[in-house]
Structure 1
Amino acid sequence: MNRSIQQHALPLTLLTLVLGWYFLPVLFLDHTLFFRDVMKFGLPGKWFQLQMYAEGALPYWNPAIFSGVPFLSLLHPNAAYPLNALLFVGDFPYGYNLFVVVHHGVLVFSVYALMRFWGLSATAATASALVAALGGYFLSLVSLGNQLVSTVWTPLLLLCVQKYFMRPHAGGPHAGGPHCGWLAAAVALVVLQVLGGSPESCVMSMLLVYFASVFLTPGRATQWKRPTRVLAGVSLTAIALSAFQLLPTYRVIQRSIRNWDLGTEFNTKWSLQPEALRHLFATRNFDTFMTTTVVEEVVYLPSLYMGLVPALALFAAAILIRNRAAIFWTGVFAVGVFFALGGNNPVYTFLLSFNPLLQKFRYPEKFFFFSAFAMTFLTGHFVEYLFQSRSRHFLSPFLLLSFLFGALLAGFAVYANGERLGLAASVFAAVLGLAVLAFTGKIRPEWAKTMLVLVVFIDLWMAHSKLVPFIDSRLITQPPEVTRLLPSSPGPYRVFTGGLDREHFRPKSLFPKAPNFLLSHILEKEIANPNLGTVFGLEYADGLMAIELENAWLWTQLFNKSPLDRKKRMLARSNVRYWITGEDTPRHRGNSKGLESGPIREFEDALPRAFLVPSMQQGPKIKLLNTYFAEDFDPRRAVLLDTPVAFQPSERFDGTVQSIEYSPNHVTVRTRQEGNGFLVLLDSYFPGWSVQVDGKPATLLRANHFFRAVSLKSGKHLLHFKYVPEGLVWGQAVSFLAIVLGLTLVLVTAFRRLPVHRWDALKRG
Structure 2
Amino acid sequence: MAHRLMRAVRDQRMGWLAAGLVGVVVLALFFPAASGRGVFSFGDILSLHYPERAAYERALAAGELPLWSPDVMAGYPLLAEGQFSPLYPPSYLLHLLLPTELALNGFVILHFAWAGVGMYLLARGLKLSHAASVLSALTYMLGGFCVAHLNHLNIVAIAAWLPAFYLAARTAALRLRGGWRGAFRPLAATVACWAAILLIGHPQMAMLSLLIVAAGMVAQAVAPEDDAALEHPRRSGAAARTIAALAVVALLGAAQAAAQLLPTWELTRLSQRAGGLDPDFFASFSLHPAYLLLLFSPFPLGDPYPAISVEVVGYVGIVPLMLAAVAILGGRRRGALFWGAMALVSLLLALGRWNPLYILLLRVPVLNWFRVPARYLYGFGFAMAVLSGLGYDALAQRARASLRADAATLWPWAAAAAGSVAAVAGARALGAEGMYAVWRWLPLGLAVGGALAVGWLWRGCRPATAWLGACAALVTLDLLAFAATFGFSYNATEPREAFVAEPRVAAFLAADAGEEPYRVYTYEEIVPVPPVMRESLYPNLSMLHGINALGGNLPLTLTRYAEYMAEPTPRKLDLLNVRYLLIPQVLPVDEASEFYDLEDPFAPTLVGRHVTFAGLRVRSVVVESYVSHSVDLADGVVAAEVVLLDRDAERARLPLRIGLDTAEWAYPRSDVRANIRHSRPGIARAWPARSGFPPENHEGYVYRAEYALAEAVSVTALEVLPRELPRAYIRVERVILIDENGEPHLLAHLIGEGDHTLAYRSEDVAIYRNNDALPRAYLVHRARPLAERPALLAALADPAYDLRSEVLLAEGDGLDVVAPAGDEVQVTLYESSRVELRARSEAEGYLVLADAYYPGWEATVDGQPVPIREANGYVRAVRLAAGEHEVVFRYRPASFRWGAAVSLAAVALLLVGAWRVRRSGV
TM-score by length of 1: 0.85
Q: 1:488 aligned to 2:511? A: yes
Q: Deviations over 1:600-636 (max 9, x none)?
A: 1111111111112222122232232233344443222
Give me the whole-angstrom Cα distance separating, in 2, the residues matched to 1:71 and 1:602: 28
Q: 1:32 aligned to 2:39? A: yes
Distance 1:678 1:45, change over 3 A: same
Q: 1:162 aligned to 2:170? A: yes
Structure 1 residue 483: deviation in Å?
A: 3.4
Map 1:198-597 onto structure 2 (within 5 A).
198-216=202-220, 217=224, 218=226, 219=229, 223-284=238-299, 288-289=303-304, 293-294=305-306, 297-301=307-311, 303-321=313-331, 323-349=333-359, 351-389=360-398, 420=439, 422-438=441-457, 443-467=462-486, 468-488=491-511, 490=513, 492-498=517-523, 505-506=525-526, 511-512=527-528, 520-559=529-568, 566=569, 568-583=570-585, 587-588=690-691, 590-594=696-700, 595-596=758-759
Distance 1:117 1:355, change over 3 A: closer
**What amino acid is aligned across from residue 129 of structure 1 in structure 2?**
A
Q: Name the SS of the counterpart of 1:659 in structure 2.
A: strand
Residue 21 (structure 1) aligned to one of 24, 28, 42: 28
| 8 A Cα contact 1:69 1:684, kept in partner | yes
Residue 124 (structure 1) aligned to one of 132, 138, 144: 132
Give me the whole-angstrom Cα distance separating, in 2, the residues matched to 1:275 and 1:440: 34
Q: 1:711 aligned to 2:814? A: no
Residue 3 (structure 1) aligned to one of 6, 10, 29: 10
Q: Name the SS of the counterpart of 1:542 in structure 2.
A: coil
Distance 1:480 1:550, change over 3 A: same
| 8 A Cα contact 1:653 1:677, kept in partner | no
Q: 1:74 aligned to 2:81? A: yes
Unmatched segments (≥5 aa) in structure 1: 171-176, 393-416, 500-504, 513-519, 560-565, 755-765
Q: 1:721 aligned to 2:889? A: yes
Deviates more, 1:643-652 or 1:31-40: 643-652
Structure 1 residue 360: deviation in Å?
A: 1.7
| 8 A Cα contact 2:122 2:164, kept in partner | yes
Structure 1 residue 194: deviation in Å?
A: 0.7
Q: 1:65 aligned to 2:72? A: yes
Partner of 1:399: none
Distance 1:287 1:660, change over 3 A: farther
Give me the whole-angstrom Cα distance separating, in 1, the residues matched to 2:833 and 2:104: 23
Pick the structure with more helix per residue: 1
Q: Name the SS of the counterpart of 2:697 in structure 1.
A: coil
**What amino acid is aligned across from residue 370 of structure 1 in structure 2?**
G
Give me the whole-angstrom Cα distance separating, in 2, the residues matched to 1:675 and 1:135: 68
Give me the whole-angstrom Cα distance separating, in 2, the residues matched to 1:522 and 1:391: 58
Give me the whole-angstrom Cα distance separating, in 2, the residues matched to 1:731 and 1:6: 42
Structure 1 residue 302: deviation in Å?
A: 5.8
Deviates more, 1:689-698 or 1:29-38: 29-38
Map 1:614-763 onto structure 2 (within 5 A).
614-619=781-786, 620-645=788-813, 647=815, 649-650=817-818, 652-753=820-921
Structure 1 residue 705: deviation in Å?
A: 1.2
Q: Name the SS of the counterpart of 2:824 in structure 1.
A: strand
| 8 A Cα contact 1:73 1:725, kept in partner | no
| 8 A Cα contact 2:169 2:213, kept in partner | yes
Give me the whole-angstrom Cα distance separating, in 2, the residues matched to 1:301 and 1:746: 41
Give me the whole-angstrom Cα distance separating, in 2, the residues matched to 1:675 and 1:593: 46
Structure 1 residue 269: deviation in Å?
A: 1.4
Distance 1:97 1:287, change over 3 A: farther
Give me the whole-angstrom Cα distance separating, in 1, the residues matched to 2:458 and 2:814: 90
Distance 1:592 1:712, change over 3 A: farther
| 8 A Cα contact 1:286 1:464, kept in partner | no
Distance 1:196 1:461, change over 3 A: same
Give me the whole-angstrom Cα distance separating, in 1, the residues matched to 2:784 and 2:176: 74
**What amino acid is aligned across from residue 340 of structure 1 in structure 2?**
A
Give me the whole-angstrom Cα distance separating, in 2, the residues matched to 1:738 and 1:168: 22
Q: CA RMSD in A?
A: 2.7
| 8 A Cα contact 1:650 1:676, kept in partner | no
Distance 1:583 1:168, change over 3 A: closer
Unmatched segments (≥5 aa) in structure 2: 1-5, 402-435, 588-688, 701-757
Q: Deviations over 1:628-680 (max 9, x none)?
A: 34444322211111213164735634311222422241111122222222211
| 8 A Cα contact 2:327 2:390, kept in partner | no
Distance 1:166 1:584, change over 3 A: closer
| 8 A Cα contact 1:542 1:552, kept in partner | no
Q: Name the SS of the counterpart of 2:314 in structure 1.
A: coil
Q: Name the SS of the counterpart of 2:127 in structure 1.
A: coil
Give me the whole-angstrom Cα distance separating, in 1, the residues matched to 2:153 and 2:36: 22
Structure 1 residue 318: deviation in Å?
A: 4.5
Structure 1 residue 40: deviation in Å?
A: 1.7
Distance 1:440 1:3, change over 3 A: same
Q: Name the SS of the counterpart of 1:612 in structure 2.
A: strand
Partner of 1:150: 158
Give me the whole-angstrom Cα distance separating, in 2, the residues matched to 1:455 and 1:275: 26
Structure 1 residue 8: deviation in Å?
A: 3.0
**What amino acid is aligned across from residue 453 of structure 2 in structure 1?**
L
**What amino acid is aligned across from residue 14 of structure 1 in structure 2?**
L
Give me the whole-angstrom Cα distance separating, in 2, the residues matched to 1:525 and 1:645: 44
Give me the whole-angstrom Cα distance separating, in 2, the residues matched to 1:151 and 1:432: 30
Partner of 1:398: none
Pick the structure with more strand per residue: 2
Give me the whole-angstrom Cα distance separating, in 2, the residues matched to 1:265 and 1:439: 47
Deviates more, 1:443-452 or 1:82-91: 443-452
Give me the whole-angstrom Cα distance separating, in 2, the residues matched to 1:437 and 1:322: 19
Give me the whole-angstrom Cα distance separating, in 2, the residues matched to 1:643 and 1:9: 64
Distance 1:19 1:747, change over 3 A: closer
Q: 1:137 aligned to 2:145? A: yes
Larger gyration radius, structure 1 or structure 2: 2
Map 1:174-189 onto structure 2 (within 5 A).
178=182, 180-189=184-193
Number of residue pairs matched by the alignment: 695
Give me the whole-angstrom Cα distance separating, in 1, the residues matched to 2:327 and 2:204: 28
Partner of 2:593: none
Deviates more, 1:355-364 or 1:152-161: 355-364
**What amino acid is aligned across from residue 691 of structure 2 in structure 1?**
H
Distance 1:653 1:298, change over 3 A: farther
Partner of 2:776: 609
Distance 1:302 1:592, change over 3 A: farther
| 8 A Cα contact 2:820 2:841, kept in partner | no
Structure 1 residue 569: deviation in Å?
A: 3.1
Structure 1 residue 725: deviation in Å?
A: 2.3
Partner of 2:119: 111
